[in-house]
A and B are shown apart, each in its own frame.
Chain A
Amino acid sequence: MAKYIVQRILEAIPLLFLVTIATYFIMNLAPGGPLSVYLHNPHVSQSQIAILAHQLGLNQPWYVRYFKWLWALLHGNWGYSYFTGQPVISVIAQRLPNTLILMGAAFIVSLGIGLPLGIYSATHRYTAFDYTFSFLSFFAWAMPSFFFGLLLQIIFAVKLGILPVAGMYSEFYAPSFLELLRHLILPTAVLGLGSLAGWSRFMRSGMLEVIQQDYIRTARAKGLKERTVIMKHALKNALLPIVTIIGMDLPAFFGGAVITEQIFAWPGMGRLFLTSLNNRDYPLQMAELLISAALLIVGNLLADLVYGLLDPRIQYN
């Protein structure tokens, strides 16, 4: 197992290297550049822009800048944001915990509710519950998050006045866990409901496929309780595709939810990514994309390892 993990990590290094070249190249292909934000500013002179370009090294070709960035990265320096001047790693460190809180809450809600609902729907196929649940799942899945978010704000904050419109803490009180939970409810509902609908559908279809297998019929013929058949024999195998999806979703935990964070003024990675994209803040963009790529690789590795735990036929030795 350890050898397998080390091998996968070693394979990931050239892959990440290629990812950095590709992303840096594509980023520089995009029209405009970090100083294009000044193009529409009557107060910034041409000579001042030339000075800034020189100071930021933007007058050099992209590959020169890339190798300088890579060299600094190999020495543990992720660079500085072009716009705030702050070290990239500290800019990310300020937002990452907020995103983990939001995405973690949405993950718990969607997994905690979505998987049981998917199982129940599969085991009660073609019942009124199944039809209703399917309809609501597709409805929730199709609901745009910006619309749903604003709708929840109007109902629960503007009309009923029982939840805050946006933000992470109240500006009137010292930050507290209770305040955090109150502010989490609406964005978690928006994010959680979308994922809940998706994951429950995957769970339902996975479970439907498994419960038609011979070994399930055998388990039932042996006289096992239906609950034991489903939870012990069927669930493990039905979870395999879900594990893959969760593994692929790992970068989203880091990347945050751009639209939901915008709507609810949540100070997370999604907003940071959007801002860095709009500003062409290359050092910040590179750090975000590199970490996302690394997490995708880690997520896949974890998913493969979990396969082994769920399915004893899979061996890594």
Chain B
Amino acid sequence: MVLKKMAVVMASAGLLAAGLAACGSSPTTTSTQSSAPFVEALSQNPDNLTPAMGTLAVDNMPLELMNASLAYLNLHDKWTGEIATSWSESSNGLTYTFNLNPKATWSDGKPLTSADVVYTWHYMTNPKIQITYNTGWNYVKNVVAEGPHKVVFTLTQPYAPFMATVGSSYIVPKHIFDKWTPSQINHGIYTKSTPVVAGPYVLKSWQQDQSLTFVPNPHWFGSPVHIQKMILQIVPNTDTQFNMLSTGKLSLGTIPSSDVTQASSLSSKYTIEKTLQATYNLIQLDENHFLKDVKVRQALDYATPKQQIVTDIMHGLAIVAHGDQVPGGYFYDPNVPHRTFSLTKAAAILKADGFTKGAGGWLYKNGQELTVPIWTGSTSHSEMDIAQVVSQDWEKIGVYAPVHTAGWSIVFGNGTPQNPGPQVNGKDEALIFSWGQGVFPDDTIDFNSKYVPKSPFQPSPQENGERYVNAQMDQLQAQGVTLSSRPARRKVYDQIQKLEQKTLPVIFLFWYKNETAVSKNLHGYQQTVFGTTPVWDWSMQ
């Protein structure tokens, strides 16, 4: 009797489930009608949508939809006006003058004027506001409004990355932020209210950890947008994202590296595009003992199988890197000489440098073993594989290279005085991770001697964690950020790339490529390493 009742209960539950499933069996067909929304998955809930206060990469897409800057870099590496219609730079590189679009308007209908630009300067440099990213604003000496549609920036010194940092910052509405105290801004009053924005879309709803929905900004002053609803769904698991792509539910999605072999299964619904990313993978060599010797670093470079890593571990979704300037970019020098993988040459360099085989088959010099432990993050499967492959080849030439994995905060952190982190322990260590200054050339924080940690227990973000010191590099980088002529800057960065290859502050491994699934219903979307087509060029069938 009990079993029969149970069977009835279970059958009822099954029927209910089947019924519910049937009720919802047609959403995708309904959704493909006339005004189909754009749906993209984000791997995390954005942490903060107040301009310049977020910390996560996933903040970028919603911020781009809602905000406008004076100018933006288009997908062909050209600065294009957004709020500004034109701009000019003084011959001494100390003054930038922007003419603003007189039609520029905030989403509440109020005009966007030069007063908002001046206010943004005060906002970005206010020490009471928890700004996370304000690089470049420290070079701004003054911002003056000359009438409602003209604004002049004066700098403390010539600063070549001005457009990449200050010129592309989002402008904030003075009439809204002026009403709030720094404490209210820090506690998220902007996103708790309906954010007043200048971008093409406004935030309609934000269901925490679920989705963000955007609709067109009725006061948008740029080219009209075609998509009436933009949905960013929060999906933390990459396999789940791939399953959503398989159902055709997403308009756009990055294919996780674990699923690239299955990408062809999406070909009926998506076009698969491979795009270079402005992020490279590297081995940071902490120069404390033997690694101070450039010959040792060069030998390790020869003994690092970059092409094998690209082919076997990255499944071709990468290209070998020879420097830190993004390939195809204006500052990239394709003619930089580089080392091709050769264990024989690596062994010969070390032998000529005085290393001899000793106990355990490892190399020794002055009675000391050549040990370079390799560290990487325990959350990155591909980097753990890379560490193993590199370790095997380094050990073939007699370098003892045990692999350690740990959380990134341990790899880059202080640790404790008894057990200091690998970056601060004063020993030779190799750290594998990804990095990049984007498509912009300035790499001062990475390789300039003034960014070497000041004390053994001073970890990154004094970013020159490898402790690389080279006076020529310092001099070239100082020129690189102050020269206003682009061709002159390129010559400087050509020299920097050659110097990087010669002296190896780090071993450059590869540039990442993304495999992106673009729905066949999505039109007007293009992507390059510099960016995508603007959202107003996109349309959904």
Contact = CB atoms under 8 A, between A and B. Distances in A.
Contact of B6 (A120, A171, A179, A271): A120
Given A32-B413, A42-B435, A262 B236 contact: yes
A85 B410 CA distance: 26
A267 B210 CA distance: 6
A166 interface: yes
B264 to A, nearest CB: 15
Interface string A105-123: 0000100110011011000
B180 interface: no
A213 B103 CA distance: 87
Interface stretch (B41-49, B336-344, B513-521): B41-49
Interface stretch (B128-136, B303-311, B530-538): B128-136
Contacts of B24: 162-164, 170, 178-179, 182
A313 to B, nearest CB: 28
Contacts of A156: 21
Given A87-B187, A265-B237, A44 B37 contact: no
A271 B31 CA distance: 29
Nearest to A49: B461
Given A165-B240, A166-B244, A178-B23, A32 B233 contact: no
A185 B17 contact: yes
Given A32-B413, A165-B247, A182-B23, A38 B48 contact: no
Contacts of A15: none
A31 B246 contact: no
Interface residues of A, number: 72
Contact of B208 (A37, A43, A46, A267): A267
Interface in B209-232: 209-211, 213, 231
B454 to A, nearest CB: 10
A27 B272 CA distance: 44
Q: Pick the most buried of B50, B408, B435: most chain A CB atoms within 10 A of its CB.
A: B408
Contacts of B233: 167, 171, 265
A126 interface: no
Contacts of B210: 167-169, 265, 267
Given A31-B413, A154-B243, A171 B20 contact: no
A113 B243 contact: no
Given A150-B240, A185-B17, A171 B37 contact: yes
A121 B42 CA distance: 46
Contact of A267 (B22, B133, B207, B463): B207
Interface residues of B, number: 79
A185 B240 contact: no
B240 A36 contact: no
A113 B11 CA distance: 12
A116 B9 CA distance: 11
Contacts of A171: 37, 39, 211, 213, 231, 233
Contacts, number: 193
Contacts of A129: 3
Contact of A31 (B25, B39, B132, B421): B421
Given A86-B187, A267-B234, A48 B240 contact: no
A317 interface: no
A174 to B, nearest CB: 11
Contact of A94 (B1, B47, B186, B208): B208
Contacts of B460: 39
Interface in A247-303: 262-265, 267-268, 271-272, 275, 280
Contact of B48 (A83, A157, A164, A272): A83
B462 interface: yes
Contact of B409 (A39, A56, A262): A39
Interface string A44-58: 111011011001100
B44 A275 contact: yes
B463 A153 contact: no
A51 B526 CA distance: 39
Given A33-B409, A55-B130, A182 B21 contact: yes
Contact of A263 (B17, B237, B415): B237
A150 to B, nearest CB: 5
B236 A271 contact: yes
A45 B461 contact: yes
A168 B234 CA distance: 11
Interface in A159-217: 161-173, 178-179, 181-182, 185
Contact of A172 (B5, B31, B435): B31
Nearest to B416: A31
A162 B187 contact: no
A95 interface: yes
A40 interface: yes
List the 10 shortest-distance A-B pairs measured between CB atoms, nearest first.
A32-B409, A267-B209, A162-B21, A36-B409, A85-B188, A39-B412, A83-B47, A182-B24, A267-B210, A85-B187
16 contacts: A40-B408, A40-B412, A52-B130, A85-B48, A85-B188, A120-B2, A162-B24, A165-B249, A166-B240, A167-B210, A168-B210, A169-B210, A265-B233, A265-B237, A272-B209, A280-B409
Interface of B: 1-3, 5-6, 9-10, 13, 17, 20-25, 27-28, 30-31, 37, 39, 44-45, 47-48, 50, 53, 55, 127-128, 130-135, 186-188, 192, 207-211, 213, 231, 233-237, 239-240, 243-244, 246-247, 249, 407-410, 412-415, 421, 433, 435-437, 445-446, 459-463
Interface of A: 31-33, 36-46, 48-49, 51-52, 55-56, 80, 83-87, 91, 94-95, 109, 112-113, 116-117, 119-120, 129, 150, 153-154, 156-158, 161-173, 178-179, 181-182, 185, 227, 262-265, 267-268, 271-272, 275, 280
Given A264-B240, A265-B210, 15 more contacts: A32-B408, A33-B409, A36-B412, A42-B463, A44-B132, A46-B462, A80-B187, A85-B188, A113-B13, A153-B240, A161-B28, A164-B27, A165-B247, A167-B235, A185-B21
